[in-house]
C-alpha cells in the first residue's frame, strides 16, 4: 500500500499542471465517496460535504458559502460524471498545452469554472424558466473543461483529433457540436444548471482565444497568483539551504507572446513553402524551419 501511495505522490509531483488537476479531481472524488460510505454505515445524514463544496444558486446561501464558486469545479457526483470530464480534460488539455504553458491552462481552468458559476447564478435568479424550477446547487468541472476545449479549438482551428470510426476531425467541429447540444439543452429538465455552466465556460474559452490572438492574455492575474502559491511551496522545500541562487525567469506573458510570434513566423514560412517550394526559402527561413522541426 505504501508503494502505491509513493508512486501516486511521485507521479503527482513530476506531472504537469494538467496531471495535477486530474489528480486533484480524482482525489476529491474518492474522499467524498468514502465519506458517503461512512455516513451511510453510521447513519450520519448530516455528514454531507457537498453542502460546503457545491455552488448554490440562492444568493443568501452563496454569500455564506462564498468559496464554493472555486471548490465546485473540482467535485463530481458519480463515476461516469468524473470519467468523461477527466477524459475531455486530458484530451483537449494536451492539445492546449501544445500552444500554451501549464500556468495558462491552470488559470483558464479556474476562470472558466468561475464563468460557468457566474452564468449559472445569474440565470437561476433572473430567467423565468429557471426561477420556476427553483434554486439548487451545482458541481463538476464541465465549465472549466469547456473553456479549455473552446480555447484550443478557436486558437488553432485547423488542429485535429483522431476519433474512433470518424478518423481525423477538426477540433473546432467537435467544440461547436458540443456547444450547440448544450444550447438546445438549456430548456430541458435534465441538468439545466449544468448546461448553463457549460455555456459560461465556453464563452470564457472563446474570449480567451480571440483576445490572445490580439496579444492580450486575461489569465495573467490568476497565473501570478498560482506562481505565488508555487513559490511558497518552493521556499518551504528549500528552507535551510546555505545558498540560494535566484535566476530571473521569463514571465507568462513574455513566454506566451514569444511562442505566439514564433508560431506566426513558422506559419508564414510554411505558406511560402507550399506556394513557391523549398528553394524559395532563405537560409534563415530554412534554419528556423529546421529548428522548429526539432522541438
DSSP collapsed to 3 states, 31-93: HHHHHHHHHHHCCCCCCCCHHHHCEECCHHHHHHCCCHHHHHHHCCCCHHHHHHHHHHHHHHH
What distances in angstroms separate CA 155 from CA 124, 138, 198, 255, 260, one per listed residue?
A: 31, 29, 19, 17, 11
For the record, the C-alpha cell of 275 comes out as: 506556394
Which residues are 169's β-sheet partners?
161
Do the strands 160-163 and 137-138 form a parallel or antiparallel pair, or are they unpaired? unpaired
Using only the alpha carbons of the chain, give its radius of gyration: 22
Q: Distance between CA atoms of 70 and 118, rounded to whole angstroms?
A: 11
Question: Do 183 and 199 touch, CB atoms closer than 8 A?
Answer: yes
| Domain 15-229 superfamily per CATH | Rhomboid-like (1.20.1540.10)
Tell me the three state secondary structure of residue 168.
Answer: strand
Instruction: Count other C-beta atoms under 10 Å from residue 5's C-beta.
Output: 9
C-alpha of 30 from chain center: 20
Q: Distance between CA atoms of 153 and 145, rounded to whole angstroms?
A: 12
48 in the Ramachandran plot: left (φ > 0), alpha (ψ -120 to 50) or beta? beta
Alpha carbons within 13 angstroms on the beta-carbon side of residue 130 total: 22
Q: Where are the domains of the chain?
A: 15-229, 250-294
The DSSP letter of residue 167 is E
Question: Do 206 and 148 touch, CB atoms closer than 8 A?
Answer: no
The DSSP letter of residue 214 is T
Phi, psi at 146, each rounded to 5°: -60, -35
From the list 143, 154, 200, 148, the residue with the least C-alpha distance to 176 is: 154
Q: Distance between CA atoms of 114 and 143, rounded to whole angstroms?
A: 8
Predicted local confidence at residue 123, as pLDDT: 97
Please tell me the total number of residues recorded for the chain in this structure: 295
Tell me the whole-structure pTM to 2 decimals: 0.78
Per-residue confidence of the chain (295 residues) as pLDDT tens digits?
A: 667 777 888 888 888 999 999 999 999 999 999 999 999 999 887 788 888 999 999 999 999 999 999 999 999 989 999 999 999 999 999 999 999 999 999 999 999 999 999 999 999 999 999 999 999 999 999 999 999 999 999 999 888 888 877 888 999 999 999 999 999 999 988 899 999 999 999 999 999 999 999 999 999 998 888 778 777 766 665 555 554 544 445 555 566 667 777 777 788 778 777 777 777 777 777 777 777 765 5
Amino acid at each position: 500500500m505504501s508503494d502505491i501511495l509513493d508512486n501516486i505522490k511521485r507521479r503527482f509531483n513530476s506531472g504537469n499542471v494538467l496531471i495535477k488537476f486530474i489528480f486533484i479531481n480524482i482525489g476529491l472524488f474518492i474522499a467524498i465517496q468514502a465519506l458517503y460510505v461512512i455516513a451511510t454505515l453510521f447513519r450520519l445524514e448530516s455528514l454531507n460535504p457537498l453542502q460546503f463544496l457545491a455552488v448554490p444558486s440562492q444568493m443568501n446561501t452563496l454569500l455564506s458559502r462564498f468559496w464554493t464558486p472555486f471548490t465546485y469545479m473540482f467535485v463530481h457526483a458519480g463515476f461516469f460524471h468524473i470519467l468523461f470530464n477527466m477524459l475531455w480534460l486530458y484530451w483537449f488539455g494536451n492539445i492546449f498545452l501544445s500552444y500554451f504553458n501549464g500556468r495558462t491552462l491552470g488559470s483558464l481552468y479556474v476562470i472558466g469554472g468561475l464563468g460557468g458559476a457566474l452564468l449559472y447564478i445569474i440565470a437561476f435568479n433572473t430567467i423565468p424558466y429557471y426561477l420556476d424550477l427553483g434554486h439548487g446547487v451545482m458541481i463538476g468541472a464541465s465549465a472549466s473543461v469547456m473553456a479549455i476545449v473552446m480555447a484550443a479549438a478557436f486558437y488553432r482551428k485547423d488542429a485535429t483529433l483522431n476519433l474512433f470510426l470518424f478518423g481525423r476531425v477538426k477540433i473546432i467541429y467537435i467544440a461547436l457540436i458540443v456547444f450547440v447540444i448544450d444550447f438546445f439543452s438549456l430548456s430541458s429538465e435534465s441538468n439545466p444548471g449544468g448546461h448553463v455552466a457549460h455555456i459560461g465556460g465556453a464563452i470564457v474559452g472563446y474570449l480567451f482565444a480571440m483576445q490572445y490572438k490580439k496579444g492580450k492574455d486575461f489569465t495573467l492575474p490568476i497565473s501570478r497568483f498560482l506562481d505565488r502559491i508555487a513559490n511558497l511551496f518552493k521556499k518551504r522545500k528549500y528552507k535551510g539551504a546555505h545558498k540560494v541562487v535566484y535566476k530571473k525567469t521569463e514571465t507568462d506573458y513574455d513566454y506566451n507572446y514569444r511562442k505566439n510570434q514564433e508560431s506566426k513566423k513558422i506559419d508564414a514560412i510554411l505558406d511560402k513553402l507550399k506556394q513557391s517550394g523549398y528553394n524559395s526559402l532563405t537560409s534563415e527561413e530554412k534554419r528556423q524551419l529546421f529548428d522548429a522541426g526539432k522541438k
